[in-house]
A and B are shown apart, each in its own frame.
Chain A
């Protein structure tokens, strides 16, 4: 799950009193590091999430679905920001672009959700190839500004010159989503054993995609390929001297990240049956940066929590009696507090608390 040192055994062996704790930490570390356990944890997480969210946190399933969609987006963004060290400020172009592509595909080619998802993601990948090819010629702040420029360009393209495709400022309203594999009504209910936990097929669809996305991100980040991403983040020049083609890896990280944004964008169009023009605006790019940083950059699960917390404040806290109207302010305060106290975000905070309790992991 993370790339911390795993020398819990040595610590535990040195201290006989801590043997039980160390043994537990050791077994836990062993369990955690297996790919299947990451996937299993995600499955359990997304399965019980709507039940807990709806019953104890005042939530509703539609918002839970949206949280997972933004979670996928944030996990992908973290591959770029947290693992490769590139700050893109124009990721809305892939999210919104995929949403538009998915919507237009559903209205004019096929309404099968899986094909729509594929079309949106493919569009995002192709677009990322072009935008990445141009933007990655520059580094640091110049890369951020270039991506921002392309993002804004796409927003104004969709707003006016391409309005015949995108329906301009009204957003794309003719999204038409059919049934899954021809038999399952995606907006319908779920059969019995599942219905104890979830009440809606769309959530199941999005949850499956979330699990697949997390599994895919986990596989990429724990492969030698992901190690190269981290090497580039730590020291680009050194990675280059070792003989790696840094530019190619950066482009691939950008495209992989855009593919996740594409999955999320297509699901967003499927979920809402509508694509707002704002999904291309630069504030959307800003949102995903905040979600990722809030959750914890450089962790696999952190961004999921960041997206959840952001949307929770935006949708639930904003409905609270007196606090509600101040939700923007609350979000700002939460962001500042998280950055000051837990620079590694929510996930960093969770790790810190866990290490205090278990005592095995920190050096």
Chain B
């Protein structure tokens, strides 16, 4: 048994209750459904009629399918990524484009870069819901702290400064909301949503969800 700073005792029952809440909320957030995901890019092709008009011939029009598997917090997470690529070359007509002699090449890419960002975001969601840092998923770069600092700070403040349970509950709330927004097709709003929730909590209950009364004026 240990005591935290406020002198509250952490006993086994309390710990189990917290763990139960954590696991329950994780399941409610629908993380199970996140374990298997498919990401399919729209194929970008130049219609045959346009090809003829512009004098382009298709060199490559193909799709590529890859499987990714990771283990996140003991859960196996699988993702299938299908990307598309199309390449066209101008062969029939000579169009004057200045000095650039030689045939023109047009390349349409099914947005693999963008897809990867989305893949990492979606894979990172269950990790945060389980309270595990998404180290293996996010790229480790010098800016990694800059991106995580503000959400971490907010989590502590809206949970209530000095309350460990508060941080857990706030982290779960923010993570759950983010996952919910992504899962319901509002991925664009997922980041905005957690800040809106944070602002709401700070306005309604500035001492934090589990914080004790303080002078906030």
Q: Which residues of A contact B (CB under 8 A)?
A: 134, 137-140, 142, 145-146, 148-150, 152-153, 156-157, 159-161, 163, 282-283
Contact = CB atoms under 8 A, between A and B. Distances in A.
B199 A150 contact: yes
A254 to B, nearest CB: 16
Q: Main SS of the interface on chain B? A: helix
A161 B192 contact: yes
20 contacts: A134-B203, A138-B217, A140-B216, A142-B202, A145-B154, A146-B203, A148-B150, A149-B154, A149-B199, A149-B202, A152-B191, A152-B195, A153-B192, A153-B195, A153-B196, A157-B192, A160-B188, A160-B191, A161-B188, A161-B192
Interface string B112-145: 0000000000000000000000000000000000
Contact of A156 (B153, B195, B217): B195
Nearest to B189: A161
A161 B217 CA distance: 33
B2 to A, nearest CB: 28
Contacts of A156: 191-192, 195
Interface string B185-217: 001110110011011001100100000000011
Given A148-B150, A152-B150, A153-B196, A138 B191 contact: no
Contacts of B192: 153, 156-157, 160-161
A146 B199 contact: yes
A142 B188 CA distance: 27
A163 B192 CA distance: 13
B173 interface: no
A87 to B, nearest CB: 15
Contact of A153 (B187, B199, B217): B199
A153 B190 CA distance: 10
A140 B161 CA distance: 15
B157 interface: yes
B113 to A, nearest CB: 11
Contacts of B203: 134, 137-138, 146
B146 interface: yes
Interface residues of B, number: 19
A288 B196 CA distance: 24
A146 B195 CA distance: 10
A149 B198 contact: yes
Contacts of B199: 134, 146, 149-150, 153
Contacts of B153: 145
B154 A142 contact: no
B202 A146 contact: yes
B216 A138 contact: yes
A287 to B, nearest CB: 13
A145 B208 CA distance: 12
Given A138-B202, A148-B150, A153-B196, 20 more contacts: A137-B203, A138-B203, A138-B206, A138-B216, A139-B217, A140-B216, A142-B206, A145-B154, A145-B157, A146-B202, A149-B195, A149-B198, A150-B199, A152-B195, A153-B192, A156-B195, A157-B192, A160-B188, A160-B189, A282-B150
Nearest to A247: B217
Contacts of B216: 138-140, 142
Interface in B17-35: none
A134 B216 CA distance: 14
Contacts of A149: 154, 195, 198-199, 202
A322 B195 CA distance: 41
Contact of A145 (B187, B189, B191, B202): B202
A143 to B, nearest CB: 9
Contacts of A150: 195, 199
B58 to A, nearest CB: 29
B151 to A, nearest CB: 9
A305 B203 CA distance: 36
A284 B199 CA distance: 20
Contacts of A152: 150, 191, 195
Contacts of A140: 216
Contacts of A145: 153-154, 157, 202
A268 B203 CA distance: 32
A282 B195 CA distance: 13
A159 B202 contact: no
A146 B205 CA distance: 12
Given A139-B216, A146-B203, A283-B146, A159 B191 contact: yes
A281 to B, nearest CB: 8
A160 B186 CA distance: 10
Contacts of B189: 160-161
Contacts of A138: 202-203, 206, 216-217
A140 to B, nearest CB: 8
